[in-house]
Amino acid sequence: MQVARYSRLFIPTLKDPPADATAVSHQLLVRGGFIRQLAAGSYSHLPLAKRTLTKIEAIVAEEMDAIGGQRFHLPALHPADLWKESGRWFDIGDEMFRLKDRRGSDHCLGMTHEEIFAAIARDELRTYRQLPQVWYQIQTKFRDEPRPKSGVLRTREFTMKDAYSFTVDQAGLDAAYEDQRGVYERIFTRCGLQFVMVQAHSGMMGGSGSAEFMVRTEAGEDLVAACPNRDYAANLETATSRIPEEPDEPPTSSSPEKFPTPGVVTIEALGRPPYSVAPRRQLKTLVYMVDDKPIVAVVRGDHSLNEAKLQTATAGVNIRPARSDEIVALMGAQAGSLGAVDFTGATVLVDRALERRANMVTGANEDGFHLRGVDVGRDLLARGATLADLRSVAAGEGCPRCDGTLDVFKALEVGHIFKLGTIYSTPLGATVLTAEGKEVPLVMGSYGIGMERIMAAAVELHHDEQGMIWPFSIAPFQATVLTLDKEPELARAAEEVVDQLARAGVEVLFDDRDERPGVKFKDADLVGIPLRIAVGQRGLAEGKVEWKLRRDQAVELIPLADVGSKAQALLRAELPDWAVAR
Ligand code: ATP
Ligand code: MG
């Protein structure tokens, strides 16, 4: 549909955003008539959103096809068996939608498709000669997210482009992963997103390495640490940093000394007189339940524990802070008086930043008492505790690669690429024969992008007080045409403009509604169509119309006769691939 008449379309714009909408993309996509909520974390895409999403999908498919990706469409309803074979049926908790069919067999709704693609590979691929294979789909995923929020940024049903590479060895995987990295960069660039690629935590996917593509925005739920020198960027879930050595006094006694601290249950309280122990000289002891087993984690008093890092360190799946009854049962004291010295009831992990620290203060594992003179090496590490990277890095700390200072900011994950290796092919028995005739497990990679996330991220990045400002590449329409008054000759001139644009190959939204110009202008700005042509009395007297880009303030009067060619030149510049497609 090259030309659409607004009067015939369903664009239910609203003056006010939903009361619970905090993210700008949530507010504007609802107000602009793009989406409507069906239930928590479940949204209907109305026609404008569908047009934008179709364009995003086309860009994604084009880029995937360009590196030899082959498009599939797999079921969303999965028999539980394959998920049991990989083990994830048991590892994944409430995030998986599970159901039984009429015969009572277990099924789930696909939250990702490693198992299903790997099963096809297992059944069909025999030899290295068939490799590499790059398979993908653009398909619905279901995840029972604990906190669906921010409109379509985090939903329980969403559309993902998920791709999987199958290679015979690690070198093949490295090459496939590099291809995907390039594809992702091109996709996000074409969709008008500014992004950073960051080192990431692999989470429930597992595997040896992964990178996330992040858009810097307050609407994001992730934190990224990045060096302004551009040599380092990582999700806080894996980021490391340089921090100054702490000069400690050598221990004065051969063992820690207990001292009374009645009522002192926080790091801050111990930092105040009469104790005055600086938080960086304290040990903070935390108890977690990892897959229902207790783990004690120790970090510096002024540092915070990162749960994803704890998950990595314990190779655990389900992690939560222990409840107070669990803490007392394990440690014999309440949170606030905990310490790991002389504790042997569970695995003790000590953050690396504490490795050489001496003369520290920690809870005595007895309510109302602390220990001083704690030497981390002597009193913890020599007695069975293990070092691990546990702390979250903070803004202002040193870059691990150069002498720069890390910045920490909120970011939205739009894509994630994983080197899975053989963690799925081994349990599923997906093997091939090498050139030497040896049977080896397929080496896999997995690569996901959220379609609705791209749409919402574009709005987070490109909007103003009046509404959305779509990049040309994913705008629901490229141009909109309206009249400044109701005279019939204006309408006739507008039709002429629309006609020129259509002949030039531009997608036009013609606002032919019987509405005041003010209403039309407001809607045009809210909906964010990148080019607006307005036909008014004054201009038309000289054969001219108003040309305005949504992203600029300037309004230019141009000859009506030039609209088509000027729009075509604009689109050629904005969309390098556009001219080729025509
Ligand atoms: P997040 O940390 O945001 O939950 P994830 O690590 O679970 O993401 P992946 O499993 O890697 O995400 O999924 C690939 C892509 O799918 C993500 O980069 C994101 O764009 C999109 N995505 C994931 N979960 C959701 C969701 N609940 N709603 C919308 N899009 C999502
Ligand atoms: Mg998730």
DSSP 8-state code for residue 529: -
The range of the structural domain enclosing residue 279 comes to 257-388
What CATH code is carried by the domain that includes residue 221? 3.30.930.10
Structure tokens at 395: 């803004």
Asked whether residue 485 is assigned to any structural domain, the reply reads: yes
Ligand 1 binding pocket includes 414 (Cβ within 6 Å):
yes
Ligand 1 binding pocket includes 453 (Cβ within 6 Å):
yes
User: Average pLDDT, stretch 467-484?
Assistant: 98
User: pLDDT above 70 covers what percent of the chain?
Assistant: 98
Ligand 1 binding pocket includes 200 (Cβ within 6 Å):
no
Contact 476, 527 (CB under 8 A): yes
Ligand 2 centroid from CA 131, angstroms: 30
Asked whether residue 11 is assigned to any structural domain, the reply reads: yes
Same domain, 195 and 286: no
Same domain, 212 and 108: yes
Could you give the number of structural domains in the chain? 3
Ligand 1 centroid from CA 474, angstroms: 20
Same domain, 233 and 192: yes
Same domain, 503 and 456: no
SS3 label, residue 5: strand
423-435: pLDDT as tens digits: 999 999 999 999 9
Contact 448, 162 (CB under 8 A): yes
Q: What is the mean pLDDT of the chain?
A: 95
378-403: pLDDT as tens digits: 999 999 999 999 999 999 999 999 99
pLDDT band at 149 (very low <50, low <70, confident <90, very high): confident
Q: pTM of this prediction?
A: 0.92
Same domain, 295 and 381: yes
Asked whether residue 274 is assigned to any structural domain, the reply reads: yes
Q: In this predicted structure, what is the pLDDT of residue 203?
A: 65
Which residue among 335, 360, 388 closes a domain? 388
Ligand nearest to the CA of 145: 1
Contact 165, 177 (CB under 8 A): yes
Strands 386-388 and 77-79: unpaired
SS (H, E, C) 134-197: EEEEEEEEECCCCCCECHHHECCEEEEEEEEEEECCHHHHHHHHHHHHHHHHHHHHHCCCCCEE
In Å, how far are 153, 181, 220, 455, 561 from 216, measured between CA atoms? 14, 18, 7, 15, 42
Same domain, 34 and 127: yes
Same domain, 149 and 266: no
Same domain, 483 and 511: yes
Asked whether residue 471 is assigned to any structural domain, the reply reads: no
469, 490, 454, 419: which is closest to 186 by C-alpha?
Answer: 454
SS (H, E, C) 95-121: CCCEEECCCCCEEEECCCCHHHHHHHH
Same domain, 282 and 220: no
Contact 375, 361 (CB under 8 A): no
Asked whether residue 394 is assigned to any structural domain, the reply reads: no
Asked whether residue 468 is assigned to any structural domain, the reply reads: no
Side-chain half-sphere CA neighbours of 177 within 13 A? 22
Same domain, 64 and 137: yes
What CATH code is carried by the domain that includes residue 330? 3.90.960.10
What one-letter code names the amino acid at 342? D
182, 163, 185, 191: which is closest to 71 by C-alpha?
Answer: 163
Contact 157, 42 (CB under 8 A): yes
Ligand 1 binding pocket includes 451 (Cβ within 6 Å):
no
Taking only Cα atoms into account, the Rg of the chain, rounded to an integer number of angstroms, comes to 29
22-58: pLDDT as tens digits: 999 999 999 999 999 999 999 999 999 999 999 999 9
Same domain, 228 and 97: yes
